[in-house]
Amino acid sequence: MHDRGGNILMAKIFCVANQKGGVGKTTTAVNLAAGLARIGQRVLMVDLDPQGNATMGSGVDKRQLALSVYDVLLEEASIKEAAVLSDKCGYWVLGANRELAGAEVELVTLEHREKRLKAALLQAEGDFDFVLIDCPPSLNMLTLNGLCAAHGVIVPMQCEYFALEGLTDLVNTIKQVHANLNADLQIIGLLRVMFDPRITLQQQVSDQLKDHFGDKVFHTMIPRNVRLAEAPSYGLPGVVFDPSAKGSQAFVEFAQEMVVRAQRMPTTAKSEAKLASSA
């Protein structure tokens, strides 16, 4: 795709990351992917977690993958070869399964091991408007590949007592990657998920988040919603499984917010570095 000036439009690449387990990363990755697809964006969802939840939750059977993100990281396949279209969800899936757990060890001895995903995406990014990367719950070599490939990080978080403390390690890692490996990288925003406004503590933590991070906190909040939790057992994101559910509507709203944020993002590493250092 080209813009009016004839330049090739490149995908905006976002990691969904938080080293804490079970905070809603995968739910965010698949529902944002489905929400973006719904509003006409071309989306690739990359599953970087050997659990393969984002793969299964997009209607792709992780046990039947001919090629996966593992083969891409080991340069045995291109993204074009390994990604599959999820018909029901309307986006492409570069899937993962348990095989990916071995990649961490195998990558250790290889050159440019943290930039394998970035190199692969460079070949494919003209084909998509958005690439979303679902990271595992740790700051390992797989997550590092995600962070090195991305323009920005989306951090889903629950508004609980230790939420801010837990962010420190992630923010430090992102700063280090920004300084040493990927000058494009910035935190795009913190997404409040599983939010229940009736719980006073959640309101308080939400207010604290806004005090600390200002407009880095997304306007959209994702409510706790049982339809979002039920959808994975049908192999679908909530947005596809039950579009009228409150949680699904919130994710479509979030997709719209992301389109606006992506349009506002600077396009060169240099201008992004400037932005990050002034933040």
Min CB(250)–ligand ATP separation in Å: 8
Min CB(54)–ligand ATP separation in Å: 8
Stretch that binds Mg ion, among 47-55, 59-67, 110-118, 182-190 (CB under 5 A): 47-55
Q: Which is nearer to ligand ATP, 22 or 102 (CB)?
A: 22
The option from ligand ATP, Mg ion, none interacting with 246 (CB < 5 to 8 A, set by class) reads: none
By CB under 5 A, the residues from 61 to 120 that bind Mg ion are: none
Stretch that binds Mg ion, among 46-54, 96-104, 142-150, 200-208 (CB under 5 A): 46-54
Min CB(126)–ligand ATP separation in Å: 29
Is residue 25 a contact point for Mg ion (CB under 5 A)?
yes
The option from ligand ATP, Mg ion, none interacting with 102 (CB < 5 to 8 A, set by class) reads: none
Q: How far is it, in rounded angstroms, from Cα 209 to Cα 159? A: 9
Binding site for ligand ATP (CB under 6 A): 21-27, 49, 51, 53, 137, 193-194, 222, 224-225, 228-229, 232, 247
Min CB(200)–Mg ion separation in Å: 28
Stretch that binds Mg ion, among 45-53, 67-75, 83-91, 205-213 (CB under 5 A): 45-53
HEC profile for the chain? Answer: CECCCCCECCCEEEEECCCCCCCCHHHHHHHHHHHHHHCCCCEEEEECCCCCHHHHCCCCCHHHCCCCHHHHHCCCCCHHHHCEEECCCCEEEECCCCHHHHHHHHHHCCCCHHHHHHHHHHCCHHHCCEEEEECCCCCCHHHHHHHHHCCEEEEEECCCCCHHHHHHHHHHHHHHHHHHCCCCCEEEEEEEEEECCCCHHHHHHHHHHHHHHHHHEEEEEEECCHHHHHHHHHCCCHHHHCCCCHHHHHHHHHHHHHHHHHHHCCCCHHHHHHHHHHC
Min CB(110)–ligand ATP separation in Å: 25
Min CB(104)–ligand ATP separation in Å: 16
Nearest to 254 by CA among 92, 42, 86, 27: 27
The option from Mg ion, ligand ATP, none interacting with 55 (CB < 5 to 8 A, set by class) reads: none
How many positions of this chain bind Mg ion (CB under 5 A)? Answer: 3
Helix 200-213 / helix 163-180 crossing angle, nearest 10 deg: 30
Q: Which is nearer to Mg ion, 46 or 259 (CB)?
A: 46
Min CB(8)–Mg ion separation in Å: 32
| Interacting residues with Mg ion (CB under 5 A) | 25-26, 53
